[in-house]
Amino acid sequence: GGLKLPKAEGGSHWKNMDRIRNAAKLRLAIQKTPLLKLRTLAIAPSSCPSLRTIHILPPQKLAATVCRFHPSGQIMVTANADGTIQVWSTTTWQILQQLKSHANWVTCLAFSPKGNLLISGSDDSFLKVWDTQTFSEQGSIPAHNSNVRCCAFSPDGKSMITGSADSMLNLKVWSTDSWQVEQELFGHTDYVRCCAYKPDGSVVVSGSDDCTFKVWHTKLWAVSRELQHRTDPGSAIMCCAFHPQGTYLVAGSVDGTIIIWDPETWAQLEFIRAHNDRVIDCTFNHLGSIFVTSSTNNITKLWSSANWRVVREIDDHSEFVMSTSFNPTGNLMVTASCDHTIRLWQ
């Protein structure tokens, strides 16, 4: 069997990540496990997009954990392991504001579709609501019993969903008017790691340490389908992202694989060994033509969604690449790392 994942209580998950990253047992389990439809894809140099580092932001005191662009592209937010959030001008790349409210790692950030709100979730179990005009704190919500792992706004901005690494193993759907819980979603048998709305708002998907994806219909908030990754406990789902047009769902796993599903039929389209260590973040650019994965092997890979081949590989970071994000026009990409740096790519 595979290596059992650490429980993410009190922020200890990230200490355990470093230990597991160097564990030969996990790598050996991955190498010996037979995979159906699994393939490793080589880089196609001729299709590599132009990519260069244009700026390295001032070193952070602790690990840089999350990065997100505002829908306008005029500001970017990043978060650190000390619970702080930085608001950056994308013109001068100077810090406009520093937000200090969380008592532990900031694990997720999300802007509302209109850009008027920023939500932050943390290992301190709280959600914070920020007004993006002033970046004043509008609310502090005890969202879960333990670590908030993921958050996502609905496409219409009327609700948002959060997932947690607490004992309830649930997701919560929140009204963005009252910030009251509208629904609690149960069904996973282990910690929830990621969640995402389909661009048309019809479904939400959630990925878990139980190695499954659940597809929730947003009208009834009932599970309409369960997608099994692998039964090996070393195959937890760490991250997920929908194509901007909703034509693909991509997920990254602890075992270093990425899985691509068709959100209409939920057929599995691809099963690819992407990294030799866990995939911890994934995202599409604004057109959906490029998909990015980052890993605890310090590598970031850019993939073509036309053929799911690697078109560029980045190894400039010296530690985990925790988060990646594209600006709204797709001409800038940012990577945030445990090496305390945030790099801007053009």
Q: What is the pLDDT of residue 267?
A: 94
Q: What is the pLDDT of residue 35?
A: 34
Provide the residue type at 155 as one letter: P
Provide the residue type at 37 as one letter: K
CB 251 within 8 A of CB 229: yes
Q: What is the pLDDT of residue 167?
A: 79
Sorted by sequence, the CB contacts under 8 Å of residue 170 that are 6+ apart come out as 163, 164, 184, 185, 186, 188, 192
Q: What is the pLDDT of residue 43?
A: 38
Q: How far apart are CA 138 and CA 161, in angstroms?
A: 18
| Average pLDDT of adjacent 10-residue blocks, the chain of 346 residues | 35 40 33 35 45 82 94 96 95 95 95 97 95 96 92 97 87 96 93 96 95 93 86 82 97 94 95 95 96 96 96 94 96 94 93
Q: What is the pLDDT of residue 232?
A: 66
Provide the residue type at 321 as one letter: V
Q: What is the pLDDT of residue 49?
A: 56
pTM, two decimal places: 0.84
The most distant pair of C-alpha atoms in the chain lies apart, rounded to whole Å, by: 53
Q: How far apart are CA 11 and CA 14, in angstroms?
A: 6
* Buried b or exposed e, range 111-150, using 16+ CB within 10 angstroms: bbeebebbbbbbbbbbbbbbebeebeeeeebebbebbbbb
Q: What is the pLDDT of residue 166?
A: 81
